[in-house]
Amino acid sequence: MQAQVYVQLNEKLVQQLPGYVQKYYLEKTVVPLSPATLYQYLNEFKRFFTWLIDTGIAPVESINQIPLTVLEHLRKEDLGLYKAFLLNRSKATTKNSQGSLSHRTVNRSLNALAALFRYLTEESENEHGEPYFYRNVMKKISLVPDSETLQTRARNIKSQLMLNNDHQYLDFIQNQYYDQLPATSTRQKKMFQRDQERDVAINALMLGSGIRVSELTNANWDDLNFKQAQIKVLRKGGKYDLVPIAQWVLPYIAPYLKIRTQRYQPTPDTPALFLTKGRAAPRRINSATVELLVAKYSEAFNHVRITPHKLRHTLASKLYLETKNEKLVATQLGQSSTKATGLYTHIVDTQQKDALDHLNQSFKKD
């Protein structure tokens, strides 16, 4: 989804929320948080405020009427009940059932609330130069332990990565995908021929840089420095970053750069690096389209549908395998800490299996 679409959704959504949340939203658009992150946060606030009304904790009729005093005087017990509500939502058994939430989703909800309470108790300022209130109950609420170890999670996603066949994947799109299309799918073949160079470049850039799909779709033509093999992207938190690109992927990107202007006919109003044909004019490719094209090609390649995020995992895993440096991997991915990079050590760390194999060989000798 394009950033501008998120902005439009956010502006509609924030009108349903209390005035202090509207002020939070305005301040965070200046920081800025990305429109996609704000969209997630606003939806979590709406869910929480709806729960406050449904449980009678907030004695009002609509969520935009919930006063600050309700949040100020929330007890740890109240937030514990909300946490339990998120964890124990029943699985989908009826048409109206909402389904259960994963531990990661619950933690995202709690993190969103922690950000709001931090704003209200530390970052905000009333007419007297003081925060709206000082008691932050969210500091007493712990996150839910992940139900999977990093090793288990790594094992589950390793089969979806292209650790040893990323070159073959790109070559498949270039030279074999067209021949696999049914002879009757004339339109599908025509669309592929039009977008082949673009689609190869998109997959190559993600495999060779590890940038997020939103960073790719928001990039403009002049953000790519082909000679220096780097691209400027807007990271989470609103900071720009120059991201190195692996040299081996540049030949996969170069054909798109040659045909972009002639094929897609961009105007000054369409500075996007990656374009798609619109009815009246070219337009910036969106994240949903990238998700679909990666799924399409990956399924045709090895019968496993993957997401752009798995291409990001692939780059990170290979980079860790080469360097054994978690900090370097975190820097490449635009992460502020190495907390999330532990996954990649488990994906590529074969020492445990090698040790077991060695034990097995020793057993046979005995």
Whole-number average pLDDT of the chain: 85
What would the pLDDT profile of 308-355 be if each residue is shown by its tens digit?
A: 988 998 898 888 888 888 888 899 999 877 766 666 666 666 444 555
Burial (CB count within 10 angstroms: exposed 0-12, middle 13-18, buried 19+), residue 219 = buried
| Residue of 51 and 31 predicted with greater confidence | 51
Residue 197 is predicted with a pLDDT of 98
What does the DSSP assignment read for 81-94?
Answer: HHHHHHHTPPPS-S
Residue 239 is predicted with a pLDDT of 85
CB 51 within 8 A of CB 82: yes
Residue 220 DSSP label: B
What would the pLDDT profile of 141-192 be if each residue is shown by its tens digit?
A: 988 776 555 565 656 666 678 878 899 999 999 999 999 998 888 999 999 9
What would the pLDDT profile of 214-232 be if each residue is shown by its tens digit?
A: 899 999 999 999 999 999 9
Residue 94 is predicted with a pLDDT of 32
Residue 150 is predicted with a pLDDT of 57
- The SS3 of residue 241 is strand
Q: Whole-angstrom Cα distance, residue 249 to residue 206?
A: 10
Domain residue extents for the chain: 3-147, 153-352
Lowest-pLDDT choice from 130-139, 193-202, 348-357 = 348-357
- The SS3 of residue 242 is strand
**Taking 60 as the threshold, does the pLDDT of residue 134 lie above it?**
yes
Residue 98 is predicted with a pLDDT of 47
Q: Whole-angstrom Cα distance, residue 149 to residue 342?
A: 11
Residue 100 is predicted with a pLDDT of 54
Structure tokens belonging to residue 256: 């798109």
Residue 358 is predicted with a pLDDT of 58
Q: What are the start-end ranges of the H helices in the chain?
A: 3-14, 19-30, 35-54, 68-72, 76-87, 103-118, 150-158, 166-175, 177-180, 186-209, 213-218, 250-264, 287-302, 308-323, 326-333, 342-348, 351-365
pTM of the model: 0.64
Structure tokens belonging to residue 45: 């606030």
220: which strand partners?
272
At 241, the amino acid letter reads D
Residue 30 is predicted with a pLDDT of 79
* Distant-in-sequence, close-in-space partners of 90: CB < 8 Å, separation ≥ 6: 97, 98, 99, 100
CATH class of the region 153-352: mainly alpha
What would the pLDDT profile of 75-116 be if each residue is shown by its tens digit?
A: 999 998 998 888 876 333 333 344 456 777 888 999 999 999
Alpha-carbon torsion 161, 164, 170, 171, what sign? negative
Burial (CB count within 10 angstroms: exposed 0-12, middle 13-18, buried 19+), residue 25 = buried
